[in-house]
Structure 1
Amino acid sequence: MPLSINGNYVLPEASCRDCEQITGRNEALIMRGGFRAVREYLQLRSRTKKRPQELPLFNVNRIEGNKVMVPVDDYPVMWMIPRFDLPGALRPPGYVSTGNPPPWSTAINLDHDKLAKHGIKNFTTIQIDVFAFVRMIAKIGHALAVSRYGLHHFVPFLRHIILHEAGPEAFEFIGGRAETPHDTEELHGLTLRTLRVGDRVLLVAEIRLFATLGAPIHLAVVGEVRS
């Protein structure tokens, strides 16, 4: 779990310097993009000692390129998390996919009176890079499996997705669950389980970022358990 969303676990010597730079750049696309506002609102951990006093809103009042800096206390946290269909590797015979569901979204601290003080009537919601998010989910799932079982307990499926540009083929191993998750007081939820699919036993990570805010569950098919 990235430190910047209050990840508490450290996996010693988890990657070489080159791989660390790759995953760090990818996670920065999420943490400094779609997750930036909610991180500041919740005052989550950061490697930057000086926290921002303002955050930008874009295309304000339907003016293309119009950026307005808003104090963090007044900033509306309008954000979305992608939702995905069941991973291809877990779909039973005859499964008919209807595509990925609409993203989960929520609004926090949306106060029109506060925005009016800054002359703001409307603005564009910041989007999340979907495949950067997919790669981050893959990394969290892989790291969880290694921390529990070590490197030699399973045949890994996700290393290529983590370290290279991901495309639609990643949905063979990365996906989600359709049901509405239960309420919880935990900021994030992580579960690792085994699942028999045909003649294989697969390791599947259930990852729920920002669970306490009602966010959805994502699945990472981490690998196949070695016999």
Structure 2
Amino acid sequence: MQPLYQPLWECIYCGSKEPPLSKEHVIPFGLGGEIVLPRSSCEACREKTRKVEEFCLRNHLGNTRISLGVQTRHPAERPDSVKFRITESDGSIRVATRRKDELPIFLVMPVYPAAFLLRDAIRKHLNPPKSNEWIYFSSYEELAQLSGNGGAVKIGSMDFVAFARFLAKMAHGYLVCERGLRNFTPLLTPLITQQTTEYWHWVGGTVDWSIPAPTDDIFQIQTYTHNETGYIIARIRIFPNLNAPTYHAVAGREL
């Protein structure tokens, strides 16, 4: 059952009150989310966040969602099989197909350093952000079967900026639900509305905080306030059941 919230009649991302204003799914349905904010996204922001969400759900997380049977709004469109692109050692390309009922779980997630806004808070020197990935295989044997004679298997796409926007959108919306639109200073809206690509100011990976043990959940989100800075931080974990990385987004600041 969806938690009920009152219509906001204002875009939570850009502040526009120009109709039409659509409902905003704070946590994607494709990750088990059911929180909806009515009349809270303008058409321009809805289109931007929709494209980012669809890219991440399909390209970053798509195979994993199919493997685990995670809910989808379009079950008729969910493929019966998944194709993997394999680059052989001689440079040639071939395609291997697996039915969804025999699909191995391959998950690739971005790895971020701590957000720059938290450098003083964690009292730790941070290097500039660089590309890195966390990878999960349900079975090396299944991967070896796909790769054949040492071929390279493409198991996912990676876009560090898009995924950071994906995290930021969830963190901001969740904080609006918790606090209300006027009860904190928002920090993530320039990233969400694509005014900047410099995600590393606000979005990062867990550094000095303990990482909880794996659970049966496919999604977790909590917020807490860092007392020294007044920053309101959202901790997000996608597929904790696979022991996936924990992320944080500096979503706002106490008034």
Question: What's the TM-score once normalised by structure 2's chain length?
Answer: 0.77
Task: Report the counterpart of residue 31 of structure 2 in structure 1.
Answer: 5
**Alpha-carbon distance in structure 1 between the residues aligned to 2:93 and 2:144:** 22
Q: Does 1:54 align with 2:81?
A: yes
58-67 or 23-32: which moved more?
A: 58-67
Partner of 1:173: 202
1:133 to 135, 158, 163: 163
> C-alpha distance in 2, partners of 1:185/1:39?
14
Question: How far apart are 1:109 and its partner, in Å?
Answer: 5.3
Q: For residue 72 of structure 2, what is the amino acid of its counterpart?
A: S
- Number of residue equivalences: 221
1:41 and 2:73 aligned: no
Report the CA distance between 1:214 and its aligned residue.
0.4
Q: Could you tell me how far 1:18 is from its partner in structure 2? A: 2.2
- Counterparts of 2:211 and 2:116, CA distance in 1: 20
What are the Cα deviations for residues 9-57 of structure 1, in whole angstroms up to 9, with x where unaligned? 2122231222111101011111111211001011112122312111110
Which residue of the partner structure matches residue 148 of structure 1? 178
Question: In 2 relative to 1, CA 105–99 (structure 1 residues): closer, same or farther, beyond 3 Å?
Answer: farther
> What is the deviation of 1:111?
4.4
Cα distance in 2 between the residues matched to 1:86 and 1:158: 15
Alpha-carbon distance between aligned partners in 1 of 2:143 and 2:108, rounded to the nearest angstrom: 23
Greater share of strand residues, 1 or 2? 2
> Bigger relative contact order, structure 1 or 2, given CA contacts below 8 A and separation 6+?
1
- Shift >6 Å, 4+ stretches: none
Cα distance in 2 for residues equivalent to 1:48 and 1:165? 31
RMSD in angstroms over aligned alpha carbons? 2.4
- Aligned mates of 1:113, 1:196 — CA distance in 2: 46
Q: Please tell me whether residue 160 in structure 1 is matched to residue 187 in structure 2.
A: no
Q: Which amino acid aligns with 2:79?
A: P
**SS in structure 1 at match of 2:185:** strand
Distance 1:19 1:185 in 2: 33
Measured in 1, the distance between the counterparts of 2:102 and 2:87 equals 15
Q: 2:103 aligns with which of 30, 55, 75?
A: 75
Residue 65 of structure 1 and its aligned partner are, at CA, apart by 4.3
Query: What one-letter code is carried by the residue in structure 2 that aligns with 1:217?
Result: T
| TM-score, with length taken from structure 1 | 0.86
State percent identity of aligned pairs: 24
For 2:193 and 2:104, the matched residues in 1 are separated by 33
Equivalent pair of 1:74/1:111 in contact (CA under 8 Å): no
Provide the C-alpha distance between the structure 1 equivalents of 2:29 and 2:180, rounded to a whole number of angstroms.
21
Q: What is the SS of the residue equivalent to 2:75?
A: coil
In structure 1, C-alpha distance between the alignment counterparts of 2:114 and 2:29, rounded to whole Å: 28
Alignment of 1:189 with 2:220, yes or no, is yes
Residue aligning to 1:18: 44
Structure 2 counterpart of 1:193, one-letter code = Y
Q: Summarize the Cα distance change of 1:166–1:72 in structure 2 as closer, same or farther, 3 Å threshold.
A: farther
Contact 2:129–2:200 under 8 Å retained in 1 = no
Give the direction of change, closer, same or farther, for the CA distance of 1:207–1:67 in structure 2 (3 Å limit): same
Unaligned runs of 5+ in 1: none
Report deviation, 1:64.
4.5
What amino acid is the match of 1:48?
H
